[in-house]
A and B are shown apart, each in its own frame.
Chain A
């Protein structure tokens, strides 16, 4: 197994140029995701989806403008991967989470399972798609297209441990400079998804950027779910037994 790699997206230096969105589309041959004017901000992709693997959010606030390039989090405990019934979703040697398009049968289960609303199914093609963290480029020893294209180094690619350390230092410096609202999102390995492979430095609460403030991998509670279902199955058996114990 190669070293675990990921993204550190430092939103404080993002200029909202969307070079990442374009580079991703170019390299991965991701189809058009519609050319819409949303009338809310300069955001014209809206959200991550089957054909939007990087999404630049624009948050206009009093006196400042927050921009953040969102992406699949490549969770340590990935709900999409856990629930996939075909094994199409798998964990790579880089500890990233990737869909195999030749295996996916479009059951759609991964879509509502992801606590971040990342993965989605393409209407015309019927299969689920999301960021691969440029699996092909990684295997070729190259960095992902979005990180390569980012002109401000807002998107940084590298070994996850290194990125986490660099991010801590960055937050410390920002705090020292008076930007006390700077905080990391997803870097903590003790969070509800066991830490994310793609994490962020944000300047406001995560929900402001459309991110869940405290996500949890749904399969954490699966043993309890099976227990409750087992109880219900026994209740069903009891109901049938009682119905048939009568004389008529």
Chain B
């Protein structure tokens, strides 16, 4: 009978079927899925920034935010469709609306957000229908809030231990990362004298991303191990360094174009590392039966088996 002792976590003695995984690994691809997570987050937070810029009368910054929001949603959708096993059936996503499926909720959110950011960007570029453009820009602030966070629920609502148990931290990680990404994109495409709020957003988002990432890695105990080890661990560490550097640079990026570019690039690379790292941690935690079996066995041994109250 295969029994295994794990060096890092002494208590993780458990039994398995020839060390095979119990659950299936997420089959989402690189770069499609992490790229979509990044772009969707960027687009969502940029929508929120466009709305704030509209409401505070910052026209030039709003233009940049509108374009970033539209580009993120547009390119992100391409990655999302390419991810499907049957891309031609993409529209089946809008066949039903299911609150129990974060992917259904997300598809409708993406459809609404793409439409709104498309109208806002189209109006800004062509000068047509300025009132509709402004209204869409403000509304994309709301759809953007959902865009930047639903993807955390998408991952957490699986049997993958590192994702499911990260249901508290993942939304804050993604929201922070989204704010940093959007701040980076907007400060890069706005004249420096007018980009103050984008720089603040980039720095604040970067700090939130680092704090939430740290909690995710350390609060989950055994199940959080995949975020700290192997390829996922390297990606999460790289993300931390890049995001910290980029966030600190953002606070002084007003001084020069080069500093702005360096900060934006570091933040963007950090946000991408976060998404690739989270996907990889999910895969690793599904691949090793330890993360599935040990917490469940502990639950049983403690006399607290799972149940589904009220259903």
Enumerate chain A interface residues (CB-CB to B < 8 A): 40-41, 46-47, 57, 59, 61, 77, 79, 82-88, 103-109, 111-122, 125-128, 190-194, 205, 207-222, 224-226, 228-237, 239-246, 248
Contact = CB atoms under 8 A, between A and B. Distances in A.
Interface string B77-89: 0000001111101
Given A225-B102, A233-B145, A233-B146, 20 more contacts: A104-B86, A106-B89, A107-B84, A107-B85, A115-B159, A121-B27, A126-B84, A192-B306, A192-B308, A210-B16, A215-B296, A218-B164, A221-B157, A221-B167, A225-B153, A225-B157, A233-B148, A236-B44, A240-B48, A244-B56
A218 B158 contact: yes
Contacts of B168: 228
B122 interface: no
A202 to B, nearest CB: 12
Contacts of B284: none
A207 B293 contact: yes
A228 B93 contact: no
Classify chain B's interface size: 35 or more
A211 B86 contact: no
A111 B103 contact: no
Interface in B295-310: 296-297, 299-300, 305-308
B308 A207 contact: no
Contacts of A209: 17
Interface string B132-161: 000000000100011011101110111110
Given A105-B90, A112-B23, A232-B175, A40 B18 contact: yes
Contacts of B5: none
B174 interface: yes
Contacts of A103: 92, 95
Interface stretch (B194-202, B215-223, B264-272): B194-202
Contacts of A41: 18
Interface string B204-215: 110010000000
Contact of B204 (A57, A218, A220, A243): A243
A210 B196 CA distance: 56
A212 B98 contact: no
Interface string B100-127: 1111101100000000000000000000
A190 B175 CA distance: 36
A152 to B, nearest CB: 22
A47 B21 CA distance: 9
A190 B95 CA distance: 33
Given A222-B153, A243-B200, A213 B172 contact: no
A87 B276 CA distance: 29
Interface core residue of A46, A121, A190, A233 (most chain B CB under 10 Å): A233
B22 interface: yes
B109 to A, nearest CB: 11
B244 interface: no
Contacts of A217: 308
A48 to B, nearest CB: 9
A5 to B, nearest CB: 21
Contact of B101 (A84, A105, A225, A245): A84
A246 B208 contact: no
A117 B26 CA distance: 10
Contacts of B154: 109
A240 B52 CA distance: 7
Nearest to A80: B159
A57 B179 CA distance: 49
A105 B103 contact: no
Candidate in B55, B201, B286, B306 with the most chain A CB atoms within 10 angstroms? B306
24 contacts: A47-B20, A79-B158, A85-B96, A87-B96, A106-B85, A106-B89, A108-B26, A108-B83, A109-B101, A112-B26, A112-B282, A117-B21, A190-B307, A192-B305, A192-B307, A205-B15, A210-B22, A213-B293, A216-B308, A218-B156, A231-B171, A231-B172, A233-B171, A236-B45
